[in-house]
Chains A and B, each alone.
Chain A
Amino acid sequence: MSKLLELKNIYASYAGAKVLEDVSIAIENNEILGLVGESGSGKSTTAKVVTGLLKPDSGSVVFNGRELKGKRDKDICRRIQMVFQNPEGSLNPKHKIGEILYDAMHFHFRDMSRDEIESKCLSLIKRMELPQDTLSRYPKSFSGGQKQRIALARALCVEPELLIADEPTSSLDVSVQLNMLELIKELKEERGLGILFISHDLGVINYLCDNVAVMKKGRLVEMQSKERFFRHPETDYGKELLDSVAEMKK
């Protein structure tokens, strides 16, 4: 059975500088792969290559056994969705939440009736634990945590197979973060999603992910199951990252 997503020997550059060097990653169905790295490691760029927002210089992106080349068609776009780091910029300030979700579903599911779409929107909002009147409101009336859940709803309303989460909880308060992570975990089980979860926070990675991939300066330096990585990191850099985690001295 082919993997959900594979990056094979990706080289990529941005604004003239080399950002990714020989990066190869694989994600299975129903797996949460954590991608860790510091600034300049190339983790966000990797996300851009997976989603097609950035074209690699060489190498291939393979989705469900099919290589993705050039401009992606509508259906492929639907199946790979993303949640971004900054909740303030994720939603178009001039569109109501209901419009955002309805437009997306109507665009992809042509034979769904208006009523069907509306009821799906409502149940999605409820699942995300958002207030009842969410659909008729504008983004600016929501908190950061709520905006992120709306962004998650948008990503999931078109029933993707692969979700890329680029530091979705980094800008959120601690009390809200745990809630969001639990939600992501549950949704992954419910929908059988594959998730590429990018974060600099190893505590979050430990909580959520099945496997861990470590990036440094545009290269993939280590890739292991979570248990093995945290107990026995292979590389010096992996060890350095684990050593830097602030521990609660009780």
Chain B
Amino acid sequence: MAAVSGGTMTDSVLAIKNLKIFSNENDAVIVDGIDIDIKNGESLGIVGESGSGKTLTLRSLIGLIPEGVHISFDDKTDNDKIAMIFQNPVKALDPLYPVVKQLREVYLAHHGALDAHAGRKSIGDRFMRLLAGEGAKNAVGRKKSGKEAECDKWIKSIMQRLSLPEGLLEEDRYPRSLSGGQCQRIGIAMALACEPEVLLCDEPTTALDVTVQKQTVELIKELQSEYGFAIVFVTHNLAVASEMCDRIMVLKNGRIVEEGKTSELLKDPKDSYTKMLVDSVLTVPERN
């Protein structure tokens, strides 16, 4: 197991020492003592095949631990400002609400302005407020609060930045009527709404078409240099990791097999498993 790269835990934006993940069923060890230390603005790639524990490790960093599993660790540098984007972009969004509405909700929740007024205006909601003596006019149409106006402005600019169709602002649509790439960009917008210091990415391009994958990776890199957040990028694809990350950590069966700077790791892999992964990447010949 490789040592953690220099610097103390205190200038990390997110770190965990000796992370272990167990299955609830027979206390089987899924992840056996991993150290992760992410510094401000860096990109760490976590590469592994199925069963390596990479996704569970990522989820442990943000506390999204699934049922049937429990974790333990020695030390953790926590951070409120973490956001995550997921592998299946369409399924990562609530299918019952249109996308801009969901985005608005995330923005307002993060900025502490989410309450019955800003949230979902259900019939039950309105009825309750009528009973509370607010009067029909108040329950149905009000002037927007300051935060809401800010939110609208922000949404307009982020949708432009992410090349999402302007038409969504007038006519909001459901996740299922958008493409995978578009849903992933909504997911990215939601992540940005939280002003993250760390962006966790769980194989966000695997389910996308090849041409869209490239656009998405480029977009994330651009946003990283604009906003300055750190990235933890989980993938099984070494080539994508090499495009995205300055540091790569190779996982196998819940253990770190090798860790180091991308260029060094790929040029001169020390572990045989890493070497196997590097050799298994099928390349495309040079073009004229």
Which A residues lie at the B interface, using CB under 8 A? 38-39, 144, 173-175, 177-178, 200-204, 206-207, 230-233, 240-250
Contact = CB atoms under 8 A, between A and B. Distances in A.
Contact of B281 (A38, A203, A241): A203
Contacts of A245: 210, 239, 284
B262 interface: yes
Contacts of B237: 174, 246
A248 B265 CA distance: 11
A175 B49 contact: yes
Contacts of B211: 38, 240-241, 244
B285 A249 contact: no
B280 A249 contact: no
A200 B209 contact: yes
Contacts of A241: 210-211
A242 B238 CA distance: 18
A246 B45 CA distance: 15
Interface string B137-172: 000000000000000000000000000000000000
Contact of A249 (B49, B266, B287, B288): B266
Contact of A206 (B266, B267, B277, B285): B285
B283 A232 contact: no
A232 B278 CA distance: 26
A197 to B, nearest CB: 13
Interface in B267-288: 267, 276-278, 280-288
Top 8 nearest A-B pairs (CB, nearest first) are A203-B282, A38-B209, A246-B239, A173-B49, A244-B214, A174-B280, A244-B211, A244-B210
Contact of A174 (B210, B236, B266, B267): B236
Query: Which of B212, B240, B263, B285 has the largest count of A CB atoms less than 10 A from its CB?
Result: B285
Interface size class of B (residues with CB under 8 A): 20 to 34
Nearest to B180: A39
B207 to A, nearest CB: 10
A71 B50 CA distance: 41
Given A174-B277, A249-B266, 8 more contacts: A38-B211, A177-B280, A202-B284, A207-B282, A230-B284, A240-B211, A244-B214, A249-B262
A249 B246 CA distance: 11
Contacts of B49: 173-175
B282 A232 contact: no
A38 B49 CA distance: 24
Nearest to B209: A38
Contact of B282 (A144, A204, A231, A233): A204
Given A247-B243, A248-B266, A230 B210 contact: no
Contacts of B209: 38-39, 200
23 contacts: A38-B211, A173-B50, A173-B236, A174-B236, A174-B237, A200-B210, A201-B210, A202-B210, A203-B283, A207-B282, A231-B287, A232-B287, A232-B288, A242-B284, A243-B214, A244-B211, A244-B213, A244-B214, A246-B217, A247-B239, A248-B281, A249-B262, A250-B266
Contacts of B212: 38
Given A38-B210, A174-B277, A203 B243 contact: no
Contacts of A200: 209-210
Nearest to B213: A244
A20 to B, nearest CB: 18
A12 B214 CA distance: 31
Nearest to B264: A250
B40 interface: no
